[in-house]
Amino acid sequence: MKTNRMTHKIDFSKGPVWKCIIAQAVPLTVAQLVQLLYNVVDRIYLGHMGEGNSIALTGVGLTFPIVTLIMAFTALFGMGGVPLFSMARGDKDDEKASKILGNSFGLLVMSAVVLTVLCMRLRKPILFAFGASEASYIYADEYLKIYLWGTLFSMTATGLNGYINAQGFPKVGMFSTIIGAVINIVLDPIFIFGLDMGVSGAALATIISQACSAIWVLKFLTGKNAIIPLKFSSIRIKKEISIDIFKLGTANFIMQGTNCLVQIVCNSTLQGYGGDIYVGIMTVANSVREIFMLPISGLISGAQPVISFNYGAKDYKRVKDGIGFNTLIGAAYTMFAWMLVIAFPRFWFTVFSDDLQMIDIGISALKIYFFGFVFMAFQFAGQSTFQALGDAKHAIFFSLLRKAIIVTPLTVILPMIGFGVNGVFLAEPISNVIGGLASYITMRLTIYKTLNETV
């Protein structure tokens, strides 16, 4: 039987490890680039919408914590099961892998329904608690009340896509996001400008595109090309499997959840010290950061199933080779990205806004925010290794350390002791240095050392 190029399977046990990782990482990076367009293309259009564009951008920025919270639950119940799924495959236990996939899908659907209802009912008090003003709330509410209807689509598409990649089909996973993002890019200008729907049009375009991605993911996972298909009989929420998914997914949840916490604290603090314009500047800074995080995020996403598979197969030399490759390439890339931001800050800022006042104020803030970006490579290398090898305790701790223990208190304290609004932007690079080094050094002294002893 002929195999379609897109459904060609990668064997994680053969060939140089770096080639397996690259073969996974390239299409995943493209997929994540396109996935990012779901988020940033709305901001780009709204930032150039004409008069009032800054406040519209600020309003959409205020919805980030809620969107991030939804993604946190997606990571908890979706990506939390992927390492378990990969290890089961490496151990040649397809029945267990099938149960993990079905259990994960059940948890995603249940949490999506609950989140939609709660966020829809509580969106007004939540948005004001997150730093909305009377002016920015109008735009935030207009966007959110439509966006929330796509929660089930978003969680299904993103949460299950990892199981496609974990089966060795990164190109299929790439198309999962490309399809939706292309639709989003096409519909955004039509709805925002052509139909004069503004912020509502941006939200509507997003949920339509998310629905298309979800359909694609489900079609593949229930089809004949999937090695471990999603079967109706396996969609059961079982206590033992759910606990294991929860343990590993908690690290992902905390990473996303603490991002949510930081966004709330940042927006509230910036609103108090600088007003709506600084909330808008932070929206731009976060958007630029998301762009530059893409390649390293794609690298880590591509490496995790490879490392997990070989760990399950007890081939520890390949596991070590994967960790080393992640660290080296990640450090080189993040240093390059940091230099690009320092050299061309105005360019990156104008991608998202043509408000001259916001640009002039925001350039210095962007430089502060990106200082020490290279240390993110060490955070990712350590964090992803803990997750890939099932070390939930360390993965959870270092998720908490950088955001909840370092960034959040500093975001409040630094402005109070004389740094003003710059203190909010300074908290991020400080956490990158401390959190990144702590995560990587601990990984080398604990789980990596164990691999050395067993090779």
* Three-state DSSP string of 122-143: HHHHHHHHCCCCHHHHHHHHHH
Predicted confidence band of residue 5 (pLDDT cuts 50, 70, 90) = very low
Q: Are 282 and 63 in contact (CB under 8 A)?
A: no
Burial (0-12, 13-18, 19+ Cβ within 10 Å), 1: exposed
Backbone angles phi, psi at 113, to 5 degrees: -65, -45
Task: With respect to residue 376, please indicate whether it lies within any of the assigned structural domains.
Answer: yes
Instruction: Check pLDDT > 70 for residue 7.
Output: no
Instruction: Identify which has the larger pLDDT, 36 or 48.
Output: 36
Q: Are 8 and 171 in contact (CB under 8 A)?
A: yes
Cα–Cα distance for residue pair 295/146, rounded to 1 Å:
30
Residue 157, token pair as written in the block: 């598409």
What is the SS3 assignment for 109?
helix
Residue closest to 407 by CA, chosen among 420, 383, 419, 425:
425
Quote the pLDDT of residue 241: 79
Please give the tally of structural domains in the chain.
Answer: 1
Which span out of 18-22, 50-54, 294-298 was modeled with the highest average pLDDT?
Answer: 294-298
What is the SS3 assignment for 8?
coil
Task: With respect to residue 318, please indicate whether it lies within any of the assigned structural domains.
Answer: yes
Task: With respect to residue 8, please indicate whether it lies within any of the assigned structural domains.
Answer: no
Tokens 């304290």 -> residue: 413
Domain range for 116 is: 14-454
Quote the pLDDT of residue 446: 84
Residue closest to 326 by CA, chosen among 290, 295, 372:
295
- pLDDT tens string 320-366: 888 888 888 888 888 998 988 888 888 887 777 666 777 778 888 88
Burial (0-12, 13-18, 19+ Cβ within 10 Å), 239: exposed
Residue closest to 326 by CA, chosen among 265, 255, 378, 363:
378
- pLDDT tens string 392-436: 778 778 877 887 888 888 988 998 888 888 888 888 889 889 988
Quote the pLDDT of residue 254: 75
Residues 96, 101, 105, 108, CA torsion sign: positive
Quote the pLDDT of residue 77: 83
What would the mean pLDDT of 19-25 be, rounded to a whole number? 71
Cα–Cα distance for residue pair 100/154, rounded to 1 Å:
20
Residues 223, 97, 210, 177, CA torsion sign: negative
Question: Please, which residues have CB within 8 angstroms of residue 131's CB and are 6 or more apart in sequence?
Answer: 62, 264, 267, 268, 270, 271, 279
Instruction: Check pLDDT > 80 for residue 159.
Output: yes
- pLDDT tens string 185-213: 888 778 877 787 777 887 888 889 889 88
Quote the pLDDT of residue 192: 76
Task: With respect to residue 74, please indicate whether it lies within any of the assigned structural domains.
Answer: yes
Tokens 């294991």 -> residue: 244
Quote the pLDDT of residue 10: 57
Q: What is the dihedral of CA 415, 258, 40, 306, to 10 degrees?
A: 140
Predicted confidence band of residue 14 (pLDDT cuts 50, 70, 90) = low
DSSP symbol at 149: G
Task: With respect to residue 414, please indicate whether it lies within any of the assigned structural domains.
Answer: yes
DSSP symbol at 404: I
Residue 89, token pair as written in the block: 């495959």
What would the mean pLDDT of 33-42 be, rounded to a whole number? 64
pLDDT more than 90, % of the chain: 1
Single-letter amino acid, residue 134: E
Residue 31, token pair as written in the block: 């997929």
Task: With respect to residue 6, please indicate whether it lies within any of the assigned structural domains.
Answer: no
Residue closest to 210 by CA, chosen among 141, 259, 148, 135:
148
Quote the pLDDT of residue 32: 65
Helix axes 239-273, 421-445, angle to 10 degrees: 150
Question: Please, which residues have CB within 8 angstroms of residue 357's CB and are 6 or more apart in sequence?
Answer: 54, 277
Quote the pLDDT of residue 413: 92
Number of CB atoms found within 10 A of residue 339's CB? 13
Instruction: Check pLDDT > 50 for residue 85.
Output: yes
